Amino acid sequence: MLAAIGAQSIDELFDEIPASLRLSQLDAIPAALSEMEVGQLMGRRAQQDGQPVCFIGAGAYDHHIPAAVWQITTRGEYYTAYTPYQAEASQGTLQLLYEYQSMMVALTGMDVSNASLYDGASALAEAVLMAVRANRKSKSKRILMPKTVHPAYRRVVRNIVHNQEVELVELPYDPSGGHTDPSVLEAYAGEDIAALVIPQPNFFGVLEEVDALTDWAHANGALAIGVVNPLALSLLTPPGEWGEKGADICCGEGQPLGAPLSSGGPYFGFLCCKQSHVRQMPGRIIGRTEDLDGRVGYTLTLQAREQHIRRSKATSNICTNQGLMVTAATIHMALLGSEGLERAAAASYQNTSQLVSQLTAIEGVESLFQRPAFHERVIRLPAEAGSVLRSLAAHSLLGGLDLSRDYPELGDAILVCATEKRTAEEIDAYAQKLQRVIQLQGGVKCGLVPKE
């Protein structure tokens, strides 16, 4: 090959690089391992972390994924293809993405869906930027952001949009209901607001008054952005039907649809909207069309919105989506259907209700927020939350998320979740362990006396 090139050595091929820049050592990088050796290393590390029983949700949920989902998803034809630029050689991925878009439209009640974004939090940031562009009536870049939106999502939104002068106004939550009381919006009536963000269920698992909130947004010239859990949507009113006119944009975390927990990623963000806003939507979009012979085919469309054509005027800098995660989600939704999703959602709801009733039977443990909720709830402990959770973890049980960092006003509160995968035995074990841990930590004055 060097002879064909007319070079003496491979080194000669780098002769345009100034010698002063060339590197000779990579001392800090370990020597190569064989596949077997790296397998042993990874095996040890995977084992080291154990597999504790998980009662944490908070944006990542431990749901059952049918075996077929990842067996098909990791077929090389999906796993090792790239963005479907050559449509004729990518009809598999393209048709699948069109089916995905269709499923998301069915689930959310919106008109259109893109082919996914990175995750739920960054999808909300994109939704906010999209709303600012799409709301032609509003001259402001003010967004009303309830404090009941996932705290990490609020941080991500701020980090992504603040350089574009978008103003995020935080809305307080009702301390007894744990929801955004529509009456707090009255302070903003008549002001120029680009959009109102509406989580459903919210970070506490509580259901918001989505109809009233959506109608308020529209009455005040603001767009309504729904942030929803796609599994919950199998049971709850879809954003497209909120209030009189429905939400304008909805987004969320796609992880409950076939993505393993995997330390927080890769997941995928979904983004759907009304037809009238489609040209403001960032990310890849697939359209159905015909080929030269009139046969149905699928292709990337509306590409002129995107960075590779529109450059500095693009709707976003995003290039990739989370194609493989969407492949899994599509197969997952096809296998479960609405019946399967509803059952998984209902069982998660029921398990969490059961968990909360058993935990609150323990002296001193109380459930906050007496409003309808989905599959997460906030409970307050009679002992230091962080310390209780550490003790539970030592028993290989992840008891929930400590809320003291983001909601210190709630005291020793934790957010718990029991998906359909949690068994009655696991729920019993949690209640027993929690009772013991609280007694040991002296959280209750008279811990040995059983509650009524």
Partner 1 sequence: MLIFEQSRAGRQASAQAPLERADVSAIPEQFRRRRSAALPEVSEMQAVRHYTRLSRKNFSIDTQFYPLGSCTMKYNPRACNSLASLPGLLSRHPEAPESHSQGFMACLYDLQEILREVTGMKAVSLSPAAGAQGEFAGVAMIRAYHDARGDHERSEILVPDAAHGTNPATAVMCGYKVREIPTGADGDVDLEALQAVVGPHTAGIMLTNPSTLGVFDRKIEAIAKTVHDAGGLLYYDGANLNAILGKVRPGTMGFDVIHMNLHKTFSTPHGGGGPGAGPVGVSERLVPYLPVPMVAKSGDEYVWLTEEDCPESIGRLTAFAGNAGVLLRAYVYARMLGREGMPRVAEYSTLNANYMLKRLQAAGFDAAYPDRRATHEFIITLKRQAKELGVNTMDFAKRLLDYGFHAPTTYFPLLVPECLLIEPTETEDKETLDGFIQAMSDILAEAQSDPEQVRQAPHTLPVKRLDDVKAARELDLAWTPETT
Partner 2 sequence: MSKIPNELKYAKSHEWVRDEGDGTVVVGITDHAQELLGDLVFVELPEVGDTVDAGNECAVVESVKAASDVYSPVSGEVVAVNESLADTPETVNEDAFGEGWLFKVRLSAGTELDDLLDDEAYAEVIESEEH
Cα separation, 360 vs 363, in Å, equals: 7
Q: Of 308, 323, 309, 283, nearest to 126 (Cα)?
A: 283
Cα separation, 299 vs 306, in Å, equals: 15
Are residues 309 and 345 in contact, defined by beta-carbon separation less than 8 angstroms?
no
The reply on whether position 340 binds partner 1 by CB under 8 A is yes
Residues 6+ apart with CB under 8 A from 391: 437, 440, 441
The reply on whether position 198 binds partner 1 by CB under 8 A is no
Choice between 200 and 447, CB closer to partner 1:
200
Question: Among 286, 368, 438, 444, which residue interacts with partner 1 (rule: CB under 8 A)?
Answer: 286
The reply on whether position 350 binds partner 1 by CB under 8 A is yes
Interacting span for partner 1 (CB under 8 A) from 135-143, 170-178, 217-225, 254-262? 254-262
The reply on whether position 279 binds partner 2 by CB under 8 A is yes
Interacting span for partner 1 (CB under 8 A) from 80-88, 137-145, 220-228, 434-442? 80-88
Question: Of residues 306-345, which lie at the interface with partner 2 (CB under 8 A)?
Answer: 309-310, 313
Exposed, middle or buried: residue 290 (CB in 10 Å: 0-12, 13-18, 19+)?
exposed
Where helices occur in 361-423 by DSSP H, the ranges are 385-394
The reply on whether position 227 binds partner 1 by CB under 8 A is no
Tokens of 224: 């309504």
> b or e along 100-114 (b: 16 or more beta carbons within 10 Å of the residue's beta carbon)?
bbbbbbebbbbebbb
The reply on whether position 295 binds partner 2 by CB under 8 A is no
Stretch (H or E) spanning 225: strand 223-228
Question: Of residues 29-88, which lie at the interface with partner 2 (CB under 8 A)?
Answer: none
Are residues 317 and 307 in contact, defined by beta-carbon separation less than 8 angstroms?
yes
Q: Name the minimum Å distance from CB 99 to partner 2.
A: 23
Binding flags for partner 1, 405-444, as an x/- string (CB under 8 A):
---------------x------------------------
Question: Residue written as tokens 């492949």?
Answer: 327
The reply on whether position 139 binds partner 2 by CB under 8 A is no
Q: E strands along 359-450, which residues?
A: 366-367, 376-380, 397-398, 401-402, 413-417
Question: Of residues 97-116, which lie at the interface with partner 1 (CB under 8 A)?
Answer: 97-99, 101-107, 111-113, 115-116
The reply on whether position 284 binds partner 1 by CB under 8 A is yes
Q: Name the minimum Å distance from CB 438 to partner 1.
A: 18
Across the beta sheet with 223-228, the strand order is 112-113, 269-273, 249-253, 223-228, 195-200, 142-146, 167-171
126 contact, one of partner 2, partner 1, none, CB 5-8 Å limit per kind = none
Interacting span for partner 1 (CB under 8 A) from 153-161, 191-199, 218-226, 376-384? 153-161
Choice between 238 and 447, CB closer to partner 1:
238
387 contact, one of partner 2, partner 1, none, CB 5-8 Å limit per kind = none
Choice between 199 and 283, CB closer to partner 2:
283
Ramachandran category for residue 411: left, alpha or beta (phi over 0 → left; psi -120 to 50 → alpha)? left
Are residues 247 and 218 in contact, defined by beta-carbon separation less than 8 angstroms?
no
Question: Among 91, 303, 354, 441, which residue interacts with partner 2 (rule: CB under 8 A)?
Answer: 303
Q: Name the minimum Å distance from CB 136 to partner 2.
A: 8
Choice between 119 and 363, CB closer to partner 1:
119
Choice between 79 and 85, CB closer to partner 2:
85
Residues contributing to the site for partner 2 (CB under 8 A): 136, 279, 303-305, 309-310, 313
